Amino acid sequence: MKVFLAFLKKEFRHVLRDRRSLAVLIGMPIVMLLMYGFALSTEVKNSRIAIVDLSKDEVTRTLIQRLDASRYFTVTEYLDNPEGADLLFRQGKARAVVVFQEGFQKSLLHTNTASVQIIADASDTNTGNTVAFYISSIIRAYQDELLTHQKLPYRIQMEAQLAYNPQLKSAFNFVPGVMVLILILLCSMLTAVAIVREKETGTMELILVSPVRPWMMIVAKAIPFLLVGLINVAMILLISYTVLGLPMRGNLLLLVAECGLFVLLALSLGLLISTRTDSQQTALFISLVGLMLPSLVFSGFMFPLENMPLPLQYISKIVPTRYFFNILKSVMIKGLGFSQVWKDTLVMAGMTVFLLGMAVRSFKMRL
Amino acid sequence: MPQILKTFSLNYCAHKTKIQMSNIIEATQLTRVFGKFTAVDHISFSVKTGEIFGFLGANGAGKSTAMKMLSGLLLPSSGKAQVLGFDVYTQSEEIKKRIGYMSQRFSLYEDLTVEENIHLFGSIYGLSKAILKEKTDALLVQLEFVDQRKTLVSNLPLGWKQKLSFSVAMLHEPQLVFLDEPTGGVDPITRRQFWEMIYAASAKGATLFVTTHYMDEAEYCDRVSIMVDGRIAALDTPKALKTQFEADDMNEVFLKLAATSNLKII
Amino acid sequence: MLKALLNKEFRQIFRNPSIIRLMLAAPIMQLILIPLAADFEVKNIQLAVLDWDHSTYSQKIISRLGASGYFQLVETPKDAATAQEALDNNRVDMILEIPQRFERDLVREDEAKVYFKADAVDVMKAGLAINYSGQIIQQVNQEIREDFVQLPRFNPVPMLNISTQYWYNPGFNYRHYMAPGILALLLIMVGSMMCALNIVREKEIGTMEQMNVTPVKSYQFLLAKLIPFWLLGLVSLTIGLIVCFLAFGLVAAGSYVTIYLFAMVYLIAALGIGQLLATFSDTQQQATLFSFFFMMMFVLLSGLYTPIESMPLWAKSIAWANPVSHFVDVMRSVMLKGSTLYDLKYRMFWLIGFAILFNVLAMLNYRKRVG
C-alpha cells in the first residue's frame, strides 16, 4: 500500500509540474465554453444583402428600409441590374440579392400585384435558406399591413412553443459536447500517452521487475487525470450555470455518477490503446484520429445523428460517446431522471466492462 | 586592413585556421542558476591547448551544465568564459563552427544510415563533397564499418554507435572537442577502444574536454578537475591528486574528497 | 547545407511509416466521414400529431406536412401526456396539436389556430422545423382560401409575388458545402500539428541539441522542416480533391490553379504556426495539446461550422486574424461559386501576411541557446 501511495505521489508531481499541459487542459474548456456561449451561433444576424431596385419608388424604398432596419440584415450594396449578383457572391460581399421589378408601386396600385425576386447564395445552404425565408417574411409582413382594412379571410394562425429551451440558447447543445471532448482528451489520450511514455523510456521494465504490481502503476497514472477531469467537469458546470445561464435541472448526483461511469469508460479505452502501442507518437495518433474524431462525429454533438446515412448510424451505435451525450442532454437540460436514462446507462456500463476486460487481457499478454 | 583579413579568415576558413594560444578554454567565476538551485557555482579554470582535460564529478554535480555553457548551448547566469578566444556570451556561433560535440545520448539520427549521418554532419560543417567522400570512405575503413555503410544507426550495437558519434564529432577536424559522458553503459573493452580513439585525436593536436562519472577514466587524462555540488573541489594531474589525497586510485581521491567536504553523496 | 538538411528530413519522413499513413489515410477518412455525417439539412423531423378535430382540413395539414419530405409522422399519441413523454424521450422532435372545432372555426370565424411544440435543445433544428412548418401552413392556408374565394383576374387585395432562386447549390447538397471547409481543416492539421510534433520529437530525443551545437542557423533548420511538410501538405490536398470528386462528385467551379496558389500560401502560414507552437513545447504531449487547442479555436471561429456574420464584433475581428477563416472562405468561394484570384485578392494579402508573420515569429523564438 505504501508503495502504491509513493507511486501516486510521483504521478501527481508529474502532472502538476507540466504546467503547460495543465494550462491547456484547464484553459481549453473555458475558452471553448466562452466561444460557444458568446460567439458561435447559427442564428442569422446582420447578413449582408444587396438590392437591385429597378423601380426606386416609395414602396420599394419602404421595403428596403424595413430590410435594413431588421436585425437580420444590413443592406450593403445597391446594384444596377441583377447581372452583378454573380460577381458580388463570388467576392463574398452579400448573402442574397433582392430584386424589385420596374414600376413596382405602379403595378401594385393598378393590378394589385408586384414581383419581388430573391436570389440567395446557397453555397452555405442552411443560412441561404434561412436568409431567404426571413426576407420573404419581412416582405409578407408588409403585405399584411397593406390590408389594414381588409383581413384575408380564412386565416390559419400558428402558435409555436419552444420546449426546454425557450430562449433558444445554443449553449444547451454544446456544453455536454465540450464535457465529452475534455473527458476523452484527458482520460483516454493523456493516460494512454503517460503509460506509453514509461514504455518508451524503458522504465516500464523496471517497474515490472520491481515489487510494484502493474495494476498499481496503471491506477496511479489514471488517478491524477481522473481528478483533473472531475475538476474540469465541475468547472464546466459552474461556468455554464453562472456565465452562460444554463439551468441545472437534473439530479446533480445522477449527473456526477454518469460522468464517473464515462470517465471509467474513457480510462479503459486509454488503457487499451496504451497496451497496443509502443511509441508516444502512435498513441497520440490513434487517440486523436481513431478515438477523438469518431467520438465527436458520432456522438450527435456536432452533427445530427438522424441525418447520417444508415451505415454511419449503425456505427454510431457502438460509439460510447453517443450514449453519454444523450444522457447528459436528458439529465442536464431536460431534467429527466434515472428511469429515463437507464437504458443508455446500461449500455455504457456494459461497454466499460467489456473494454476494461479487453484492456486487462491485452496488458497481461503483452508482458 | 589586417583586421579585415583576420575576420575574413575566421569566417571563411574556420575549419582550417588553427588558433594559436596556450589556453584554449578560460573560465572565470562561471555560474549557472536554475531558479533557486545553483548548478554551477562560480567555477574558474583553464584548459591548455592540446591536453586531454577530464571533468569529473558525481551525477548532478554540474558537469554537463558547465560543458553546455562552454559549447554555447546554455547561457551562463554570470561569470566569464572564453573558448578558442571567443566570448561565450557574444560569440557562441563562432565557437560552434570550430568545435566538435558528442552528447550523452550520442545524438546521431537513429533513422538514418551510417553513411547518411556522416554526410549530414560533414555538410553542416562545410566539408566539400569531394573531401566528404574521401573522409567517409576512410572513416568506414578505420572503424571497420565498411559493411555497415547502409545500416540504420538504430540497428547498431551501443558501442559502435558511440564510436561513430565520436568520429562524426571529429569529422571536420576541430581543434576542441567536447565529450559529455561518452562511455556510459558500455563494456570495458569498448571503453578502452574508445579511449584509444581519444588518444589518437589528441596526438593529432586536438584538445579534448571530457566529462565522466567513471573515476578510473580520470587516469587517462592529462589533468582532471573534480566537481562537487557545482564547485571545483580539486584540479590537477591525476598523479598529483593521488599524492595529495594519499590515495591509490582516483576513486579513493573522490571518496576522500567527498568525505572531507561533508557533502551528501546521492 | 540546406540541401543536406532537406535530404535528412525527407529520408526520415519516408522511413517513418506512421507519418505516411497519416498523410494518406487522414484526408481520405476525414473527407469521407465528415461530409457524410455532417448533414445539417433538417429533414426527417419526427413529428407527433394530436389531431382533436379529425376534419378534412386538419387531415390536409397533416398529410401536407408528411409529404413535404421534412417531416416524418411517427406517432399519434392518445393524449397530451403521452405526447409530452415522447418529446421528453427524444422519440419525437415536435408535437403538432390541432384543436377541436378547427375547421369550424376557420370557416365560421375566419380564424383558427394550430399549436406546435418543438424540442428546442437543438436550436437550429427547432428553428428550421418551425420555419418549414410555417411555410407549409402558409401554403395550405392559401389553397384553402382559393377554395372559397375565386380570385378574379385582378386581385381584390394587394399581393406581392415572391420568387426565390438558390444559386450555386440549388440541390442543397450539404456534402458540397462541407467538403471545401474540411479540406481547409485538413491542411491546418497536417501543417501545424504534424510539423510541430516532428520538431518537438527531435527535442525529446536529443538530436536537436546536437543540431544546436553546430553552425546550423535557426532559419536553415526551420526551413528544412518546412519544405517537406509543405510538399506533403500539397499532396494531401491533391488526394483530398480527388476524393471530393470520386466520393461526392464535387468539381471546382473555379480554377484549380487558384486553389493551389492559395493553398501554397496557407500551408506556409499553417506550418509557421506549427513551428511557433513547437518552440513553446518541450514534450510531444504538450505539442499535441497546444496544436489541438489552437486548431480547435481557429476552426470553430473560422466560419466552417457557424457563420461569421452571426458572431459578435469581437469574434468577427478575430476572424480577420484567423488564417483558417480566410482559407475556408477561399475554398468555398472557388469551389462552389467559381471565384477568381482577383475576386479574392484581399484574402491573398492576408494569407501572405500570416505566412510571413508566423514564420518570422517562429524563427525569432527558436533559440539555439537556452537562456
Q: Which three cell numbers stand for residue A104?
A: 413596382
Q: Which of B137, C133, C333, B207 is nearest to A158 (CA)?
A: C133
Judge whether C184 and A167 are in contact, CB under 8 Å: no
* C170 CB within 8 Å of a chain B CB: no
In this predicted structure, what is the pLDDT of residue B265?
46
In this predicted structure, what is the pLDDT of residue B14?
47
Query: Which run of H or of E encompasses B116?
Result: helix B114-124
Distance from CA of A360 to the nearest CA of C (A): 24
Assign 3-class secondary structure to A149-161.
Answer: CCCCCCEEEEEEE
The phi and psi torsions of A98 (rounded to 5 degrees) equal -110, 125
Q: Give the position of cell 420568387.
A: C163
Measured CA to CA, the distance from residue C324 to residue C191 in angstroms comes to 12
Longest dimension (CA), chain A: 98
Stretch B9-23: mean pLDDT, rounded? 56
CB contact under 8 A, B73 and C212: yes
Q: Which three cell numbers stand for residue A340?
A: 429515463
pLDDT of C116 > 60? The answer is: yes
Measured CA to CA, the distance from residue B235 to residue C39 in angstroms comes to 75
Tell me what percent of the residues of chain C surpass a pLDDT of 90: 24
**What is the count of residue pairs from B and C with beta carbons less than 8 Å apart?**
74
Confidence of residue B15 (pLDDT cuts 50, 70, 90): very low
* A190 CB within 8 Å of a chain C CB: yes
Q: For C202-246, what is each residue's pLDDT tens digit?
A: 888 888 888 898 999 989 999 999 999 999 889 889 988 998 888
Judge whether B40 and B69 are in contact, CB under 8 Å: yes
3-state secondary structure of C287: helix
CB atoms inside a 10 Å sphere around CB A235: 15
The phi and psi torsions of B90 (rounded to 5 degrees) equal -105, -15
Q: Does the pTM of the predicted model rise above 0.90? A: no
Measured CA to CA, the distance from residue A316 to residue C197 in angstroms comes to 30
Q: Which of A233-242, A280-289, C151-160 has the lowest mean pLDDT?
A: C151-160
> DSSP of A286-313, one letter per residue?
IIIIIIIHHHHHTTTSSS-GGGS-HHHH
In this predicted structure, what is the pLDDT of residue B47?
92
Give the contacts of C264 (CB within 8 A, at least 6 positions apart): C230, C234
User: Taking CB atoms and an 8 Å cutoff, what residues of chain B touch C368?
Assistant: 72-73
Q: Which three cell numbers stand for residue A240?
A: 455554464
Whether the predicted interface score ipTM is above 0.85: no
Q: Which of B102, B53, B52, B114 is nearest to B73 (CA)?
A: B102
In this predicted structure, what is the pLDDT of residue B1?
43
Q: For A12-25, what is each residue's pLDDT tens digit?
A: 888 888 888 888 88
Measured CA to CA, the distance from residue A50 to residue A70 in angstroms comes to 14
Give the contacts of B100 (CB within 8 A, at least 6 positions apart): B169, B170, B171, B172, B174, B176, B177, B178
Give the contacts of B4 (CB within 8 A, at least 6 positions apart): none
Distance from CA of C225 to the nearest CA of A (A): 18
CA A275, A277, A281, A282 dihedral sign is: negative
Confidence of residue B8 (pLDDT cuts 50, 70, 90): low
In this predicted structure, what is the pLDDT of residue C152?
55
The phi and psi torsions of C180 (rounded to 5 degrees) equal -60, -40
Query: Which run of H or of E encompasses B109?
Result: none
Confidence of residue B210 (pLDDT cuts 50, 70, 90): very high
In this predicted structure, what is the pLDDT of residue B20?
63
Strands (E), A54-104: 73-79, 96-100
Confidence of residue C156 (pLDDT cuts 50, 70, 90): low
Q: Which of B43-57, C27-41, C300-314 has the highest mean pLDDT?
A: B43-57
Mean pLDDT of chain B: 85
Cα nearest neighbour of C106 on chain A: A154
The region that residue A244 occupies, defined by phi over 0 for left and psi between -120 and 50 for alpha, beta otherwise, is: alpha
- Secondary-structure percent of chain C, ordered helix, strand, coil, rounded to 5: 65, 10, 25
Confidence of residue A325 (pLDDT cuts 50, 70, 90): confident
pLDDT of B264 > 60? The answer is: no
Distance from CA of C220 to the nearest CA of B (A): 11
In this predicted structure, what is the pLDDT of residue B249?
86
pLDDT of A62 > 80? The answer is: yes
Give the contacts of C130 (CB within 8 A, at least 6 positions apart): A160, C116, C118
Interface test with A, best of C167, C304, C322 (most A CBs within 10 A): C167
Q: For B228-257, what is each residue's pLDDT tens digit?
A: 888 888 899 999 988 988 888 888 888 888
